[in-house]
């Protein structure tokens, strides 16, 4: 079965053609980050307009790359939420029209479940049950995944998402948006031991996160050391990243031990952070746990993960109707559909 995946929840317009849920025939992403960079974050109205311009060319390109014709597509899967409403509407409405005119089935995919499914698109895949971290600009969620269709939310951020914290720290130092990759590169030149930022673990048994405290601590430090900021930037980046990684590592390993499973899969834009992956892998190994990360292109937003999740929903006959709407905030629902 060949599924066309469409993703447009934030600032990436993406299309992919995936066969039988895990063979990527093509995956195309048109990123808007260069445009949003000058505003220091995503401007929703601009994002929607850019999705309108990009959606058809991106799908054409995906078909061309996969060497497929439009009538070889068996089903269409598009992100239904959570995300920016105007942005979601472009991809999901396009998918509705596409399904209607081609007379094929449509499924509306939960973006977070899509990220979880990016773990199934590698050569080495985690085995059930496993712990999945979705760490992006909008979410920091820990799930217990014990089948293709069951995702138990164990913990989430109570304030900023971890990617958002990277972006804000980058902005504070005048390094622009998005900040994750910039901070990671800068941290390589700094010493994480020079500045000790706070680690917020919340309650001992909680799998929730809080990143607003560390963000404020970084801001305070920057304000107090304005004169030497250029010299301190790399140490600030290293200190910030080390604190964030410590918290993520601890919670993930605890969640895995709590559920007595042995596999941890990390996904989302922040999973592209090589330092995070290496350190988590090293610490997890001490407990006999194995860590999985998708290739870089599949960590961030993409449509292959949406097609992969959509394939399973098509098999389950978990179809979307044409009167289904998009949704901005996540409803915790294992089917991925809004209640």
Q: Which residues bind Zn ion (CB under 5 A)?
A: 136, 301
Q: How far is the CB of 265 from Zn ion (least distance, A)?
A: 15
Q: How far apart are CA 96 and CA 215, in angstroms?
A: 41
Q: How far is the CB of 13 from ligand KG4 (least distance, A)?
A: 13
For 41, residues 6+ apart whose C-beta sits below 8 A from its C-beta are 167, 171, 177
Q: How many CA atoms lie within 13 A of 281 on its CB side?
A: 10
3-state secondary structure at position 86:
helix
Of 266 and 337, the one with the shorter C-beta distance to ligand KG4 is 266
Taken as a whole, the chain contains a residue count of 339
> What's the start-to-end Cα distance of the chain, in Å?
28
Q: Which stretch binds ligand KG4 (CB under 6 A): 99-107, 141-149, 177-185, 285-293?
A: 177-185
163 near ligand KG4 (CB under 6 A): yes
Of 263 and 302, the one with the shorter C-beta distance to Zn ion is 302
Q: How far apart are CA 181 and CA 118, in angstroms?
A: 20
Of 21 and 114, the one with the shorter C-beta distance to ligand KG4 is 114
**Rg of the chain's alpha carbons, rounded to an integer?**
20
91 near ligand KG4 (CB under 6 A): no
Of positions 8, 136, 200, 320, contacts ligand KG4 by CB under 6 A: 136
269 near ligand KG4 (CB under 6 A): yes
Of 155 and 239, the one with the shorter C-beta distance to Zn ion is 155
φ, ψ of residue 155 in degrees (nearest 5)? -165, 160
Binding-site partner at residue 29 among ligand KG4, Zn ion, none, CB < 5 to 8 Å by type = none
Query: Quick check: 148 and 280 in contact, CB under 8 A?
Result: no
Q: How far is the CB of 122 from ligand KG4 (least distance, A)?
A: 16
- The closest residue (CB) to ligand KG4 is 180
Q: How far apart are CA 87 and CA 155, in angstroms?
A: 27
114 near ligand KG4 (CB under 6 A): no
166 near ligand KG4 (CB under 6 A): yes
For 295, residues 6+ apart whose C-beta sits below 8 A from its C-beta are 122
118 near ligand KG4 (CB under 6 A): no
Binding-site partner at residue 178 among Zn ion, ligand KG4, none, CB < 5 to 8 Å by type = ligand KG4
User: Binding mask 281-310 vs ligand KG4 (x if CB under 6 A, - otherwise)?
Assistant: -------------------xx---------
Name the packing angle between helices 44-66 and 85-102 (round to 10°).
Answer: 40
Helices (H), the chain: 33-37, 44-66, 85-102, 111-117, 162-172, 180-187, 212-224, 229-258, 274-286, 296-299, 304-315
Of 21 and 138, the one with the shorter C-beta distance to ligand KG4 is 138
Q: Which stretch binds ligand KG4 (CB under 6 A): 46-54, 132-140, 250-258, 307-315?
A: 132-140
Q: How far apart are CA 12 and CA 87, in angstroms?
A: 9
Query: Quick check: 293 and 277 in contact, CB under 8 A?
Result: yes
Strands 140-147 and 75-81: unpaired
Of 235 and 261, the one with the shorter C-beta distance to ligand KG4 is 235
The footprint of ligand KG4 on residues 2-31 (CB under 6 A) is 10
254 near ligand KG4 (CB under 6 A): no
Q: Which stretch binds ligand KG4 (CB under 6 A): 90-98, 118-126, 174-182, 312-320?
A: 174-182
- Residues lying near ligand KG4 in the complex (CB under 6 A) are found at 10, 136-138, 163-164, 166-167, 178-181, 184, 268-270, 272-273, 300-301
């Amino acid at each position: 079965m060949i599924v066309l995946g469409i993703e447009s929840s934030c600032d990436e317009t993406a299309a992919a053609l995936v066969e039988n849920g895990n063979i990527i025939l093509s995956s195309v992403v048109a990123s808007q980050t260069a445009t949003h960079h000058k505003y220091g974050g995503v401007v929703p109205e601009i994002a929607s307009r850019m999705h309108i311009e990009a959606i058809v060319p991106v799908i054409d390109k995906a078909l061309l790359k996969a060497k497929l014709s439009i009538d070889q597509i068996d089903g269409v899967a598009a992100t239904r939420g959570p995300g920016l409403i105007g942005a979601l509407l472009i991809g999901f409405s396009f998918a509705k029209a596409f399904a209607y005119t081609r007379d094929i089935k449509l499924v509306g995919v939960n973006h977070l479940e899509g990220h979880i499914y990016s773990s199934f698109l590698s050569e080495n895949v985690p085995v059930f049950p496993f712990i999945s971290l979705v760490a992006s600009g909008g979410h920091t969620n820990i799930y217990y995944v014990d089948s293709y269709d069951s995702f138990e939310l164990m913990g989430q951020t109570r304030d900023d998402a971890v990617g958002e914290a990277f972006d804000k720290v980058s902005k504070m130092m005048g390094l622009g948006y998005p900040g994750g990759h910039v901070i990671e590169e800068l941290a390589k030149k700094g010493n994480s031991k020079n500045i000790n930022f706070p680690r917020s673990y919340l309650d001992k048994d909680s799998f929730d996160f809080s990143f607003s405290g560390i963000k404020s601590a970084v801001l305070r430090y920057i304000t107090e050391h304005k004169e030497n900021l250029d010299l301190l930037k790399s140490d600030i980046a290293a200190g910030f990243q080390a604190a964030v990684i410590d918290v993520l590592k601890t919670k993930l390993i605890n969640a895995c031990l709590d559920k007595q499973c042995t596999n941890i899969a990390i996904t989302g834009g922040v999973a592209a952070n090589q330092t995070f992956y290496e350190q988590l892998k090293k610490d997890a190994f001490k407990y006999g746990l194995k860590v999985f990360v998708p290739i870089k292109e599949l960590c961030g937003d993409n449509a292959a993960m949406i097609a992969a999740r959509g394939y399973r929903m098509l098999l389950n006959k978990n179809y979307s109707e044409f009167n289904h709407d998009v949704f901005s905030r996540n409803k915790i629902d294992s089917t991925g559909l809004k209640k």
